[in-house]
Every structure is written in structure tokens, then in C-alpha cells.
Amino acid sequence: MMLLQAVPLQDQHILQAVEHDWHGDLIDFLRGQVPKLIAVFLILFILQRIVMFLVHRLQKRADIYVANFHRAAQLRTIASIVRATSYAVLAFIALMQILNIFNIDYKPILASAGIIGVGIGLGAQSMFKDMINGILILIEDQYNVGEVVTIAGLKGTVEELSLRSTRVRDGDGTLYIVPNSQIATVSNFSRDYSIASLPVSVDASANPDRVMDILRKLADQVRNDPAFKDIAISDPDILGVNEIRGREVIYPVNIRVRANQRDPVLRALRRRIILVFEKEGIPLGISSNMLLMQQKPDPTAPPAQQPLIG
């Protein structure tokens, strides 16, 4: 009988001890760790709001620079880099602080991460090349968000730039994600100015002096048009007879315009040339390739009728 009563009493003491320890640990956690966690998250929240404030300020400053497109693109790029980098740093700091609060020794974790990092680094060298090249792109100011560029054989508008990759969207709406390590040559169409160049093909029967005079008048009309007066930044340059290809004569017309503003000027100039040349009776040139195609006999045509010999 004494043995049967001893077992339940022992179990009861164990349960009371476990309950007391659990209750004590919970109180210690609420008194010790919870305030520290709240302080860490509060500080991280304040830092995150400061980062967002700086990013919004940079974006608003970029919106102010309407006339200086290059400066606005620089500010947007810096805002994107600051946001991405700050979030990564804040996440790493939060992880270290949480491990420290729970008395978890993070030094072995960092050592293990370093060993794993060496192994990953050997197999992910391209990622480090991406980041190094991304840093060089930013330092050398090769291009910014919003600029039209050609990188890795792809032409489009830069939508996002990070240390890892560049996102470019072309005229068809296709988004390309290009690793920065693959960017060897950059063609930037949004810096300083562009040249709206139009090679006009005219038939050799037209008087060259008359053709150049008409082209000069049309180019001046486009230059002084209210729609393009702020886009074209210099007077047109009519270079004269640049090339002769059989019956085809090439007259280049160049107009210096603001960066990445060539297309509307060229469309207006082409329209005026077609209308005026038709009115003045000036024939447009036909390339020699088209002449050869027209003279080449049709292999599907029936054989020519042989004349009868009497």
C-alpha cells in the first residue's frame, strides 16, 4: 500500500516542479527577452522609416529635375540601390540581435557560414563578378534608371539597376534581366544629345542644288516648328551629295536634338519630304538592288515565242 501511494506523490512533485520551472521561465522571458525584442524591432522600424524617408526624398528630388534628365536618372538609381542595400543590412542586424537575445552563440554559425561561403564562392564566381561590375557601373556612371541603352546586344529603357543585374524593357514591352557580368559594352542614347540623321535617297535626274535647297528649307521648318523648337538644339546640317549608287543619290540631313528625342523629329521630316518632293516633281531614288530584281527574268514565265522563218 505504501508503494502504491508513493508513486502518485512522486509524479505530483515532478509535475509541480515542471510547472514551477515553466512558469518561472515564462516570467523571465517576459521580463528579460521581450523588452529587448521590442526595443530591437522598434529600432529597426525607426531605421526602416528613415531609409524610406530618404528614398522618397531622392525620388521627389528626381521629379523636380524635369529639364535635367541625367540628374533625375542618377537620383532614381541611387534611391533604388539605397533601398535594396539598407533592407539587406537591417535584416542581418536583426538576425544577429535576436540570436544574442536568446543567448545563441552566433560565432559558430558565422564560422560555418564562412566555410559554406567559400564553397559557394567557388561555384558562384559569376555572382561576385556581377556585383563588382555593378559597382563599377555606378562609380563610372555608365547609365542610370530611365535611360535608353544597348547592353549585351539588347536595346531598351533601364527600369531597375542593382549590384546584381540590370532590367531593360524594349519597345515591344519585353523585360530583359541582364546580369551585370555580361555587360562589356554600353551604348547610352540618353546622354548630352543625339543626332537625328536622315539619309534622303533621290534619283540622279534631280538637280542637286535644288534638292539641297529644298531639304534645307524643310529641315529649317522642322527646327522652328513649335512642337520641336525645344527638342532641336542646333540648326540643321545639309551635308550635300554623300554617296552615289548608280541612279541613286544620297543626301544626308543631320539635326542635333536632345538626348533620345530623334524619332519625332525624323517622322516630321520624312512626312514633309514626301509631300514637298511629290509637289515639286522630284523623284525619290530606287536602289540598285531593286533595279537588278526588276531586270532579272521570271523563271516561272513561259518561254518567249520564237519568230517564224519564212
What single DSSP character describes residue 33?
I
pLDDT of residue 132: 84
Average pLDDT, the chain: 79
Residue 289 to residue 234: CA distance in whole angstroms: 35
pTM, whole model, 2 decimals?
0.53
113-117, 216-220, 271-275: least confident range: 113-117
Q: Report the run of H or E that residue 67 belongs to, with start and end.
A: none
pLDDT of residue 136: 85
Number of CB atoms found within 10 A of residue 3's CB = 6
Answer yes or no: is pLDDT of 1 > 60. Answer: no
Residue 4 to residue 15: CA distance in whole angstroms: 18
pLDDT of residue 44: 87
Q: Render pLDDT for 20-58 as a digit per residue (tens, 0 to 9).
A: 556 656 666 666 677 878 888 888 889 888 888 888 888
Between vectors from CA 150 to CA 145 and to CA 153, what angle results, nearest 5°?
135
pLDDT of residue 310: 41
Q: List residues bridging with 148 in a β-sheet.
A: 157
pLDDT band at 307 (very low <50, low <70, confident <90, very high): very low
pLDDT of residue 67: 61
pLDDT band at 3 (very low <50, low <70, confident <90, very high): very low
pLDDT band at 126 (very low <50, low <70, confident <90, very high): confident
Proportion of the chain above pLDDT 90, given as a percent: 27
Residue 202 to residue 282: CA distance in whole angstroms: 8
Q: Render pLDDT for 216-250 as a digit per residue (tens, 0 to 9).
A: 999 999 999 998 888 888 889 998 898 998 889 99
pLDDT of residue 278: 93
> When comparing pLDDT for 111 and 99, which is higher?
99
Q: What is the mean pLDDT of residues 280-299?
A: 66
> When comparing pLDDT for 218 and 11, which is higher?
218
pLDDT band at 301 (very low <50, low <70, confident <90, very high): low
pLDDT of residue 4: 45
